[in-house]
């Protein structure tokens, strides 16, 4: 039976793009293996769906240890149970910025000295565990915790060509016909986010299963995204910015759009990449095609 996990790359070669990051991590992993030492702790920072979890799994695979993933926050006893049962492995602490400051502080000794200090005075040793932190909002990670991750390789933006290859690979995994041209359009419409590519490929697969041919315009329309990867929220952002005269601060936009700032910053990632928005000293400025993106809403 086909499962969504078929889509998750399990080896470096299947993981498309991020060449610099893959090379850097391979050096650290191979060195740790040669030295017969624990792999240093790693922090992965990038937007939702860019491939952090998948990367963490591949790191564990190539280091040859078990992989366990927790979405933060978790109760202390969950971590304690894991540490008591395991003395070697890679553990992903996903969304690490969601921990309170106090909880983040309690993880400092784990990363620095290899033990978790409990309130009752007990210490739980972490053996040869490698901790991979993942975050979409690094500014919410307290500085001492951020600093304790020895390896912090940045994610590069995926190019449209890499996104095309990700679409082709996913389509192959779910046995769906896909031409290079269609993959190019769907890849670009994924806006540099592999998880978005997955939604588009699943729509292509489901339409094909229902007996329809490959029609990219229909896939985009059904997934409510355009060829630039702009969603309704991107268009609304541009419209509100246009209404404020084409230049505005983040606070004002957040109030008008009724969206939290981190959500706006994530929307801006693609608007900046597509050069319809720029950051200036006086605020966010709509430029070039940005005005027609705003008009598309009317
Ligand atoms: P994150 O943890 O950053 O939210 P994930 O690792 O869950 O993102 O990735 C989302 C999906 O996109 C996964 O199911 C995976 O199949 C796919 N994916 C992510 N990065 C890549 C990549 N570089 N190459 C191929 N597929 C990828």
- Residues 115-128 pLDDT 10s: 998 888 889 999 89
Pocket of ligand 1 (CB under 6 A): 7-9, 15-18, 46, 48-54, 166, 169, 194-195, 198
> Tens digits of per-residue pLDDT, 66-96?
999 999 999 989 999 999 999 899 999 999 9
* pLDDT (0 to 100) of residue 10: 87
- Euclidean distance between CA atoms 215 and 219, whole angstroms: 6
Buried b (16+ CB within 10 A) or exposed e, 273-290: bbebbeeeeebbbbeeeb
Buried b (16+ CB within 10 A) or exposed e, 84-96: eebeebbbbbbbb
Say how many Å lie between the CA of residue 163 and the centre of ligand 1.
11
Q: Whose CA is nearest to atom 11 of ligand 1?
A: 195
* pLDDT (0 to 100) of residue 81: 94
Averaged over 93-101, what is the pLDDT?
A: 96
**Which region among 4-18, 41-55, 198-212, 231-245 has the lowest average model confidence (pLDDT)?**
4-18
Q: Whose CA is nearest to atom 17 of ligand 1?
A: 194
pLDDT band at 298 (very low <50, low <70, confident <90, very high): low
> Which atom belonging to ligand 1 lies closest to the Cα atom of 166?
25
What percent of the chain has pLDDT above 70? Answer: 97
Q: Indicate the average pLDDT of the chain.
A: 93
Say how many Å lie between the CA of residue 287 and the centre of ligand 1.
31
Averaged over 214-220, what is the pLDDT?
A: 95
pTM over cut 0.85: yes
- Euclidean distance between CA atoms 207 and 200, whole angstroms: 11
pLDDT band at 5 (very low <50, low <70, confident <90, very high): low
* pLDDT (0 to 100) of residue 121: 86
What is the total residue count of the chain?
298
* pLDDT (0 to 100) of residue 1: 52
* pLDDT (0 to 100) of residue 16: 96
- Euclidean distance between CA atoms 191 and 184, whole angstroms: 12
Q: What are phi and psi of 207, to 5 degrees?
A: -65, -40
> Which atom belonging to ligand 1 lies closest to the Cα atom of 50?
3
Say how many Å lie between the CA of residue 72 and the centre of ligand 1.
19
Is the pLDDT assigned to residue 6 strictly greater than 90? no
Taking the CA atoms of residue 129, residue 135, residue 137 and residue 141 in that order, the dihedral angle to the nearest 10 degrees is -10
pLDDT band at 8 (very low <50, low <70, confident <90, very high): confident
> Which atom belonging to ligand 1 lies closest to the Cα atom of 47?
3
pLDDT band at 294 (very low <50, low <70, confident <90, very high): confident
> Which atom belonging to ligand 1 lies closest to the Cα atom of 44?
3
Tell me how far the alpha carbon of residue 218 is from its chain's centroid: 27
> Which atom belonging to ligand 1 lies closest to the Cα atom of 136?
3
3-state secondary structure of 159: coil
> Tens digits of per-residue pLDDT, 245-272?
999 999 999 999 999 999 999 999 999 9
Say how many Å lie between the CA of residue 6 and the centre of ligand 1.
12
More confident residue, 298 or 30: 30
Is the pLDDT assigned to residue 3 strictly greater than 80? no
Token pair 């309130």 is found at: 119
Q: Do the bridges between strand 128-135 and strand 115-117 make them parallel or antiparallel, or are there none, so unpaired?
A: unpaired
- Euclidean distance between CA atoms 168 and 198, whole angstroms: 11
> Tens digits of per-residue pLDDT, 167-193?
999 999 999 999 999 999 999 999 999
Nearest to 283 by CA among 241, 238, 255, 243: 241
* pLDDT (0 to 100) of residue 297: 59
Say which residues have a Cβ less than 8 Å from residue 34's Cβ, sequence separation at least 6.
none
Say how many Å lie between the CA of residue 7 and the centre of ligand 1.
8
* pLDDT (0 to 100) of residue 48: 93
- Euclidean distance between CA atoms 253 and 246, whole angstroms: 11
């Amino acid at each position: 039976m086909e499962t969504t996990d078929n889509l998750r790359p399990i080896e470096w070669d299947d993981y498309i793009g991020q060449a610099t990051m893959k090379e850097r991590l391979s050096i650290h992993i191979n060195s740790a293996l040669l030295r017969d030492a624990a792999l240093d702790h790693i922090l992965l920072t990038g937007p939702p769906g860019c491939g952090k979890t998948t990367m963490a799994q591949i790191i564990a695979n190539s280091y040859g240890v078990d992989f366990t993933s927790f979405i933060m926050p978790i109760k202390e006893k969950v971590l304690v149970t894991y540490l008591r049962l395991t003395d070697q492995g890679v553990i992903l602490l996903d969304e690490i910025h969601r921990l309170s400051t106090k909880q983040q502080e309690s993880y400092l000794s784990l990363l620095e000295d290899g033990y978790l200090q409990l309130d009752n005075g007990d210490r739980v040793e972490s053996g040869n565990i490698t901790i991979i932190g993942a975050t979409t909002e690094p500014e919410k990670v307290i500085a001492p915790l951020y600093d304790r991750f020895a390896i912090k390789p940045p994610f590069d933006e995926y190019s449209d060509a890499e996104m095309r290859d990700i679409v082709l690979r996913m389509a192959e995994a779910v046995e769906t016909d896909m031409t290079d041209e269609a993959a190019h359009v769907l890849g670009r419409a994924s806006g540099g986010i592999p998880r978005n590519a997955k939604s588009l490929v699943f729509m292509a697969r489901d339409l094909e299963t229902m007996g329809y041919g490959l029609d990219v315009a229909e896939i985009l329309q059904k997934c409510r995204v355009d060829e630039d990867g702009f969603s309704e929220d991107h268009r609304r952002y541009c419209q509100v910015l246009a209404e404020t005269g084409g230049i505005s601060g983040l606070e004002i936009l957040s109030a008008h759009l009724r969206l939290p700032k981190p959500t706006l910053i994530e929307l801006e990632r693609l608007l900046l990449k597509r050069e319809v928005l720029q950051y200036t000293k006086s605020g966010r400025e709509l430029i070039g095609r940005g005005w027609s993106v705003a008009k598309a809403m009317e």
